[in-house]
Structures are given as structure tokens and as C-alpha cells.
Structure 1
Amino acid sequence: MAKENSGHYHAEAKRKRLIWILCVSGFCILSYVLGSWQNNTVPSSSSEVYSRMGCDERKTQRERSSSSSDGDENLSSSSSLSASSSFSEPVELDFESHHKLELKQKNQTVKYFEPCDMSLSEYTPCEDRERGRRFDRNMMKYRERHCPTKDELLYCLIPPPPNYKIPFKWPQSRDYAWYDNIPHKELSIEKAIQNWIQVEGERFRFPGGGTGFPRGADAYIDDISKLIPLTDGSVRTAIDTGCGVLFVI
């Protein structure tokens, strides 16, 4: 039902878009034809050009003659200035820098970090389980984030797992991950019925959908519509509350 409504909506949108494109194209073609029809005659003389442009031919000729005379005067004045400047004394140009900053260069050494022990391949500083067990279990405080102090910081590089592989590229990485990069099957066992993660040979697969949408969102909406009317307008909002998850339709 949801698919039929969405298909009808997309078809109607495509039809309106096509009509709009055809109307705009027709308007552009009509404007081009009218413009070319008005300008198809070529003027035979200069007087006809002036008449079309709305200009006075005599006034234009007078302006041209005056501008040419002004140009001659400017040319003569510039030549006289250049002649007078040629007899003046040459100016010495100073290209030396007058602002100097002395930089104190220090011997900087690059610090290299050695790799950590392989037992720390899954070490997460603020989520260390071994360190978290030292804290109080009251109100589940030991499961909170407890970042190490300055005395507990590690100055080494966390190594990858022993059989680490280059991760999948997008969009394949959205659905798959190598098991050797995350060598743990606990989540796939505990959440097996919730369809979150599955083990397929040497890799994990993330089916998507999770608990609420094991067969996709469309099938989920169809199942809800069997319980309450969603299409006749009597129900405006449907809320499905699960275990920590809230779906609003």
C-alpha cells in the first residue's frame, strides 16, 4: 500500500516537471523567433542606423571631431612632459630591505614512539575494562568513562590485531567488516534474534533493520496498518514503543 502511494506520487511529480520544462522551452523558442524577426533587416546607410538608435547624426559627428582635437592636445602635452623629464636628474632607487627579523633556530628532534605490547591491541584509554573494575559498582559507576591520569598515560603506539586486514571501501564497508579486525563473536550471539550483526565466514555482515525493521521499513508500516487504520485519516500519529526505541509514524 505504501509502495503504491509512493509510486503514484513520483509519477505525478514527473508529469508536472515535464509540463513545466515544455512550457519554459516553448517560451524561449517563441522569444527567439520574435527577436530574430524584428532584427532581420540590415540598415543600408549610416543615417538609418542613427535613426534606429535614436541618435542625432550631426551631434555625433561634432562630438567625434572635438574628441579627436582633445586627443591631439593631450598627446602634445604628454610629449612635452616627457621631454622635460628626460633632462631632469635620474632618481636612485633603493631595493635594500630595511626590516630584518632574526630567527633563532633551535635543534628540533622528531620523537618516535615504539609500538605497545600486543596485549594492548584493543586498548581504549577511557574505556579500559581492567581499570574500570577498580571503581565502585554502586550505580554502575565502574562502567562510566574513566580516563587515565597523567601518571597512567601510555607513550607507545597501539598495535593492530595480529591478522589485521585493510577495511572494505565505501559503500561495501556499510554492510561488511573483517572478522580479524574485530575478533569477537559475542555480539552476534547475544543479538542473534535482533538481526544486528551476522558472521559470514571471515567477515561480519550488518543486515540492517535491527529489531524494529527485520524485513524493512515498508513491511513494518504495512504490519502497523493491519492493526490501526493509517490510510483513512482517522489516525494521524502512531507511536510504537519498544525496548529503548520509539517509532513515530
Structure 2
Amino acid sequence: MRIMSLNGWGGTLHAPLLTYLAAEAPEVLCLQEVIHSPETDKADLIYRDGDHVLPQRANLFAEVAAALPEHVAIFCPAAQGMLWDGETPVPSRWGLATFVHHALPVIGQAQGFVHKGYAPDGFGEHPRSRNGHAVRVFDHAQGRAVSIAQMHGLRDLRGKLDTPERAVQARRFLTLLEQVAEPGDLRVACGDFNVEPGSATLQLLEEAGMTELVTARGFDGTRSAQYAKPGKFADYMLVSALDAVRGFDVVRVPEVSDHCPLVMEL
């Protein structure tokens, strides 16, 4: 079983992203920064937040689902706000998506918020609403259940430092995973956590019996060359049993986002 975690950057690099995902087709894809705009058939919209202007793929969720036709697709919205078609506002939902190959039956799942709650009337002030999603699947090839949780950690304009809000977020994320996991499950936690190595978030998950793979395997960051700011760590993947891991990689090529895909083979 291959599990991939990736921040999709709202589909800014949608053409290489969709080609890559269709070719790789991991059994479980945990995708953050997903756009879902069911009220429009426009392909591209613009996100505006002060001086921060970014192209977004209006219906990235539907496009990824079409690229992975053998997967169950689950969208988990964190907020609905406005993207822009020229000067016309378009209601758009922003959040996470999980895609699970139909060979892996989903036997449990939980969706919830790790910071604030659903924001129906705009993306809001930073730090904004953030959510998580956990699925429990059964791997018939290995005869075991695997519980996988992803989140997109809150963005704090002060940086990736430990904060009380991030401490609460980490506990809620762990609770979400434990809500679906049962004794004996292999457990995986992943996502764009928006924290540095050695953070309290990672310490909490490690105290719960999980091993973080990005730094443990010697990778020097998880941001692609598309990301020009300092600080190259944001994304992490943790597992409860190292002997179950056949391989792990932070994928540098092709570039499909300003984040690198994290890929673990069990």
C-alpha cells in the first residue's frame, strides 16, 4: 500500500499535478489545499488576500477525482469564501480531500476541526479554520487495518513557532486519529502541519508511539523550488510501526506544488 500526502497549492500547478497523480495513483492520497467551487464551471479563479494573489483551480477536487477514477473521493471543507473571476466573486470551498482506492474498503472515518470551526461566510482572519480527516481502511493483502489521519495545520503570520493554538490543534488531531483507530491498527499521521522539526506538535505524536519519517530519514525539507521563503519544513508523515515501512520518499521531481509529495510504501 502506498500512502501519499501533499499540499496541492490550490491547483496552481494543476497540469503537472494531475498528470503526476494519475500516473502514481497511490492507494491513499491525503491532499491539502483543495478547492471545490460547485457553483461555477470556470476552470481558473484568483485568490486575493491583500497583496497575496494566487491562481486557483476552481474545481480541483473534481479534477483529481477524475484523474483517480478507481478511488473513493471525500472532500472535507474548512471554509467557504470568495475567489474571483475578474471582478466577479465566486463562492468557493477550501479544505482537505482524501482519495482511497476501491480495493481498500473504508471501515471507519472521522472528520473534524483542529482549529476554530467551519467558516461559511468567508475565509476569515488569520489564523483561519483548519480541519482534519481520518480514515480506517482494511488492507486485505496484508490482513490488517490501517488508520490514517491528515490535517492542514494553521498558518500563523508570526511563523511556525509553538503556540497555545497549535498545542490545542495537535491534541485535537491526535484525538481524531484515535477516534477511528482500534487496538492493533497500524497508524499513520500526515499532512502540512506548518511547524518546524522538534515542535511540540511532533513531540505529542511521538509520545503517542509514532515515528516521524522526514527528519528521521535525513531529508532537508519538504518545500519545492517554487517556495522562495526561508524555512523548508512544513509537511510530515509519522507511522506507529517502523518495521511496516518498505520505503519513504520526499519527491523532488516533478514539481507539482510549492510542497513536495511525501510517499510511504507499507
- Name the TM-score class by shorter chain: under 0.3
Superposition TM-score, scaled by structure 2 size: 0.16
Higher RCO by CA contacts (8 Å cutoff, separation 6 or greater): 2
Superposition TM-score, scaled by structure 1 size: 0.17
Structure with greater proportional helix content: 1
Structure with greater proportional strand content: 2
Say which one has the larger Rg: 1
